[in-house]
Chains A and B, each alone.
Chain A
Amino acid sequence: MKKILALLLTMGLTLSLTACGGGTKDSGNDAKEPAAGGEETGGEETGGEEAGGEEAGKEEAGGGEASSELNIYMWQQYISDDLIANFEKENNCKINLSYMSDNADAITKLTAGGGDEYDLIMTCDAYMESLVAGGYVEKINFDNIPNASNINEAYWTAKEYCVPYLMNYIYIVYDKEKCPVEITCYNDLIKPEMKGQISTIDGARNLFPIALIALGYDPNSTEESEIAEAYEWLVKFNENVVAYGNAEQNLTNGTASVALTYDGNASWAMAEMGENNTLAIADFKEDAVQLGFDLYVIPVGAKHTDLAEKFLNYICDPQVMAGNLEEYPYSCPNEAAVEAASDSYKNDPARNFSYKENVFFQEDVGEALTIYNDYYQKLKVGE
């Protein structure tokens, strides 16, 4: 009896551990959203790493020959399988894709060691400054990437160290028929009649900027008093929120009537509604929206730099990227590719809004990050 109990107890404990690991909730285009944990993806990662390690060993023995293996670490559901297959065929190589479940995963890979297991790692603009300062990323030889000239320079931070891939606006999309308020600014979101209507992305550095803008402050403020005020604003916002995450599903199945989400996810929701689409992008007059980039960097110590550069050049090709956009209709900094894209992409209602220039970027806030995190926890813990 006691032994059985002890066994069950062990089972229980293990369960609690795995439960903490969580998994990716993968539905529609949602894989872009930071989902819980990543035990499954963890498995794949190690698989990829091992394969990469072996292959690297072989090459060193061969010496000087072109790489036949490319290890990429990036978001799941974010690049076309056809693109990968075509590149593999053209270059007679094998691409090992491993997936992250959170932006922080990529940073951990780069900074805590293990970055050299990969040849390309996806991260976002907000981290570039400190990654460069910390010496975690390799300078890229743009002589080998002529197609990079297609990318709009205005959308390019730390130009020597990265190649932008896709970009995301974080804006408000709402159901014109169901939403009780016509939304033209962030302050509309904290009106009492909006109770239980909002579905929003999560994360301190996604939520606080909108509050800071609503209050008229710098979205990347490092002043504690301003962040404290933003916290008060978010408390009211939080009361109106029905759910964090899954915004596009909550819009299409009628749980929420407003969403703060990525344009790619809004595009998915609008496509899902089809003919009866009642979703519209909020017509903002003054408030800026957040724009973020996902970009590729070559980690220090990468073993297949030649192939990595070939790959970067390949995805910057307008035709190739246009095909990729068909499958993943996010905004793209590659203007030639947008030009070459199909009409359905160009006429996507999710990218049809007037204030594309009125944007702000997430910046490194240094030590103030702790203040943000403290208030974020306070917000979510409540009373």
Chain B
Amino acid sequence: MSKKLDDNSDLKQIGKKRDVKRKTLPALAMAGPVSLWMILFVTIPMLFIIYISFMSRGVFGDVVYKFSGESYQTLMDATYFKVILKSLRVAVFTTVLCLLVGYPFAYYIARKPKETAAKLIMLIMIPFWTNSLMRLNSWLLVFQTNGPVNSFLQWTGMTDGPITFVYTDGLVVLGMITNMLPFAVLPMYSSIEKLNKSFLEASADLGANGATTFRKITLPLTFPGIFSSIILVFIPTLGIYTVSDMLGGGKVLYIGNIIKNQFGSIRNWPLGAALSVLLIVITMLLIFLYTRFASIEDMEVV
């Protein structure tokens, strides 16, 4: 009896060793470099940012390593509240538009045969191989006062004089959407593509019309995709400032601009760091929400 037990524990030992070889090593090999990368280039800089945010600013704009909560006190100023509110508003607006444009497109691609779908996905990805600043600059060139669009409009006689497209909110929104659309389309595409078609057939069999099927079946089942699209578009948009700077003429400051200025011309690194931390907190909250939603919904899908 006792011998048998011993055998058993030996077996367990061997099994454990084998497990280490079979599972842990490959896992380490796969996740190791990424983890190292993330620790070196994301975690450590992030911790440093948090550290700096509690330091004080020197007379000469340098960081003095002396504890101070002043930066966070400054954040209480109404100006920053307004900026964050404004940035949130733009981010929400862009996200909603991206979803409205992206969902039908993702739906359309997902319903195509595999090869056509791959081609259509490529169409979205190709512009992304160009630097975003290049793309923004080309929008400026296309829409500038003596640019091709205005020349064409005048040539067709639709307008007498040139229309000012550049440095308007419309162009900023256009720039935002073209920058963010792939991030909206791809997750929704993967969600819609996974959707089991038999659900739709069953729904039709039970007498639901197209609209009802969409509302009751397609939309809820693709919700994880929609939600990750929201996150993917919303977070970058919150911090981005190049679009409004270039296409909007730099007339409005967003939270990204303010952070950039603190590290640049204004040279108040602790305040810039504190603002970054605030942005990280907002982002974390959203990711927390995302994990709650996505995990629950995923289970339901599978």
**What is A's interface to B at a CB cutoff of 8 Å?**
1-2, 4-5, 8-9, 11-13, 15-17, 19-20, 22-23, 25, 27, 34, 36-37, 102-105, 107-108, 111-112, 130, 134, 196, 202-204, 238, 241-245, 249, 253-255, 366-367, 369, 373-374, 377-378, 380-383
Chain A binder among B12-20, B103-111, B212-220, B245-253: B245-253
CB distance from B23 to the nearest CB of A (A): 17
Q: Give Cα A178–Cα B156 distance, bound, in whole angstroms.
A: 24
Chain A binder among B2-10, B139-147, B201-209: B139-147
Beyond A5-B224, A16-B239, list 14 extra A-B contacts (CB 8 Å): A1-B301, A1-B302, A8-B232, A12-B183, A19-B132, A34-B265, A36-B245, A103-B265, A130-B60, A196-B164, A253-B146, A373-B268, A377-B253, A382-B252
CB distance from A369 to the nearest CB of B (A): 8
Chain B 137-166 interface mask (CB, 8 Å, partner A; 1/0): 100000011110000000000000010101
A-B residue pairs in contact (CB < 8 Å), sample of 18: A1-B194, A1-B224, A12-B183, A16-B238, A20-B260, A23-B242, A25-B137, A25-B246, A34-B264, A34-B265, A103-B265, A108-B267, A204-B266, A243-B166, A254-B162, A367-B59, A377-B258, A383-B82
Q: Give Cα A374–Cα B262 distance, bound, in whole angstroms.
A: 11
Is residue B117 contacting chain A, with contact meaning CB distance below 8 A?
Answer: no
Q: Which residues of B lie under 8 Å from residue A380 when comparing CB positions? A: 251-253, 257
Is residue B102 contacting chain A, with contact meaning CB distance below 8 A?
Answer: no
Closest Cβ neighbor of A10 among chain B residues: B38
Closest Cβ neighbor of A245 among chain B residues: B250
Is residue B278 contacting chain A, with contact meaning CB distance below 8 A?
Answer: no
CB distance from B297 to the nearest CB of A (A): 10
By the criterion CB–CB under 8 Å, are B295 and A381 in contact? Answer: no
Q: Give Cα A134–Cα B294 distance, bound, in whole angstroms.
A: 54
Q: Give Cα A134–Cα B239 distance, bound, in whole angstroms.
A: 35
Q: Give Cα A228–Cα B221 distance, bound, in whole angstroms.
A: 56
By the criterion CB–CB under 8 Å, are A12 and B251 in contact? Answer: no
By the criterion CB–CB under 8 Å, are B79 and A25 in contact? Answer: no
Kindly list the 9 A-B residue pairs having the minimum CB-CB distance in the complex, ordered from nearest.
Answer: A243-B249, A16-B236, A244-B250, A380-B253, A12-B232, A254-B145, A16-B239, A5-B228, A19-B240
Q: Give Cα A229–Cα B99 distance, bound, in whole angstroms.
A: 45
CB distance from B64 to the nearest CB of A (A): 12
Is residue B133 contacting chain A, with contact meaning CB distance below 8 A?
Answer: yes
Q: Give Cα A294–Cα B233 distance, bound, in whole angstroms.
A: 41
Please pick, from B166, B242, B267, B295, the residue contacting A2 in the complex, using a CB distance under 8 A.
B295
CB distance from B119 to the nearest CB of A (A): 20
Interface centre among B164, B240, B245 (most CB of A within 10 A): B245
Q: Contacts A13-B235, A238-B251 known; A20 to B240 CB distance under 8 Å?
A: yes
Q: Contacts A15-B236, A255-B164 known; A243 to B60 CB distance under 8 Å?
A: no
Q: Give Cα A19–Cα B128 distance, bound, in whole angstroms.
A: 13
Q: Give Cα A15–Cα B184 distance, bound, in whole angstroms.
A: 14
Q: Which residues of A lie under 8 Å from residue B82 when comparing CB positions? A: 381, 383
Q: Contacts A2-B298, A9-B228, A9-B287 known; A111 to B145 CB distance under 8 Å?
A: no
By the criterion CB–CB under 8 Å, are B260 and A8 in contact? Answer: no
Q: Which residues of A lie under 8 Å from residue B162 when comparing CB positions? A: 254
Q: Give Cα A22–Cα B239 distance, bound, in whole angstroms.
A: 11
Please pick, from B59, B241, B265, the residue contacting A20 in the complex, using a CB distance under 8 A.
B241
Q: Give Cα A16–Cα B260 distance, bound, in whole angstroms.
A: 13
By the criterion CB–CB under 8 Å, are B146 and A22 in contact? Answer: no
By the criterion CB–CB under 8 Å, are A22 and B232 in contact? Answer: no
Q: Give Cα A366–Cα B133 distance, bound, in whole angstroms.
A: 36
Interface centre among B79, B131, B236 (most CB of A within 10 A): B236
By the criterion CB–CB under 8 Å, are A19 and B224 in contact? Answer: no
Closest Cβ neighbor of B301 among chain A residues: A1
Q: Give Cα A15–Cα B231 distance, bound, in whole angstroms.
A: 13
Q: Which residues of A lie under 8 Å from residue B236 when comparing CB positions? A: 12-13, 15-16, 19
Closest Cβ neighbor of A35 among chain B residues: B245
Q: Give Cα A317–Cα B80 distance, bound, in whole angstroms.
A: 50
Chain B 155-195 interface mask (CB, 8 Å, partner A; 1/0): 00000001010110000000000000001001100110010
By the criterion CB–CB under 8 Å, are A102 and B265 in contact? Answer: yes
Please pick, from B83, B250, B268, B290, the residue contacting A381 in the complex, using a CB distance under 8 A.
B83
By the criterion CB–CB under 8 Å, are B249 and A12 in contact? Answer: no
By the criterion CB–CB under 8 Å, are B235 and A16 in contact? Answer: yes
Closest Cβ neighbor of B290 among chain A residues: A9
Q: Which residues of B lie under 8 Å from residue A103 when comparing CB positions? A: 265
Q: Which residues of B lie under 8 Å from residue A374 when comparing CB positions? A: 79
Q: Give Cα A15–Cα B268 distance, bound, in whole angstroms.
A: 24
CB distance from A101 to the nearest CB of B (A): 8
Q: Which residues of A lie under 8 Å from residue B61 when comparing CB positions? A: 104, 107, 111
Q: Which residues of A lie under 8 Å from residue B146 when comparing CB positions? A: 253-254
By the criterion CB–CB under 8 Å, are A102 and B264 in contact? Answer: yes
Q: Give Cα A163–Cα B207 distance, bound, in whole angstroms.
A: 85
By the criterion CB–CB under 8 Å, are A5 and B294 in contact? Answer: yes
Q: Which residues of A lie under 8 Å from residue B147 when comparing CB positions? A: 253
Is residue B98 contacting chain A, with contact meaning CB distance below 8 A?
Answer: no
Q: Give Cα A53–Cα B233 distance, bound, in whole angstroms.
A: 42
Is residue B135 contacting chain A, with contact meaning CB distance below 8 A?
Answer: no
By the criterion CB–CB under 8 Å, are A36 and B260 in contact? Answer: yes
Q: Contacts A8-B186, A16-B236 known; A1 to B298 CB distance under 8 Å?
A: yes
Q: Contacts A12-B183, A253-B147 known; A37 to B260 CB distance under 8 Å?
A: yes
CB distance from A176 to the nearest CB of B (A): 18
Q: Give Cα A242–Cα B167 distance, bound, in whole angstroms.
A: 7
Please pick, from B187, B235, B242, B258, the residue contacting A5 in the complex, using a CB distance under 8 A.
B187
Q: Give Cα A11–Cα B187 distance, bound, in whole angstroms.
A: 12
Q: Which residues of B lie under 8 Å from residue A25 when comparing CB positions? A: 133, 137, 246
Q: Contacts A12-B236, A16-B239, A112-B62 known; A4 to B83 CB distance under 8 Å?
A: no
Please pick, from A130, A241, A383, the residue contacting B249 in the complex, using a CB distance under 8 A.
A241
Is residue B55 contacting chain A, with contact meaning CB distance below 8 A?
Answer: no
By the criterion CB–CB under 8 Å, are B251 and A255 in contact? Answer: no
Q: Contacts A102-B264, A381-B82 known; A22 to B60 CB distance under 8 Å?
A: no
